[in-house]
Structure 1
Amino acid sequence: MSLPKTFDNPYFQPRHQILHEKMNPVLKMLCELSQASQSFLILWEDDYHQLYDLEKEAHFHLNIDHQIFSVRFSKLNQEVIYVPNLKFHTLFQNISFFKSYTDNEQLLIYPILDRNNKVKGIAGIVLTQVIDSAFDQLMKHMDSIGTYLNHLYLDFFDSQRRELPGYLNMENLPTSFFEFEVDADQELHYNHFSKNLIRKHPGFSNDCSAEKRVANVLSMPIADFYSLIQKIRDNQSMEYVYSCSNNLGEKKYFIVRLHISRVQEGRYRCLGVLEDFTIQKAYGSVLDQMIFDISHVMRRPVVTMKGLTNLIDIDKFEKDDLRHIAEKIKSVSEEMEEYIRAMFKIYEAKQEAIYHL
Structure 2
Amino acid sequence: MNEQERIQDLLSYEILGTSPERELDELVEIASVVCNTPISLITLIDQDRQWCKSKMGIDMSEIPREHSFCHHALSKPNEVLVVEDPVNDTRFKDTPFVVGEPYIRFYAGAPLQTPKGNILGTLCVLDNKPNEISESQKKALSLLAKRAIDFMDTRKVMAEQSKHIRLGITQLKNLTDQVPGIVYQFRMTDQGAMSFDFLSRGVSNFYPDLEPEDVKQNVQLVFDLIHPEDLPGVMQKIKESFQHLTPFYAEYRVLAQNGAIRWLVSKSTPEKLEEGAVVWYGIFQDVTKRKEYEQTLEQISFDISHVIRRPISSLLGLVALSESENVSAEQLKEYVGYTKIVADELDEFTRKLHDIYYERKTRV
Structure-1-length-normalised TM-score? 0.48
Larger Rg: 2
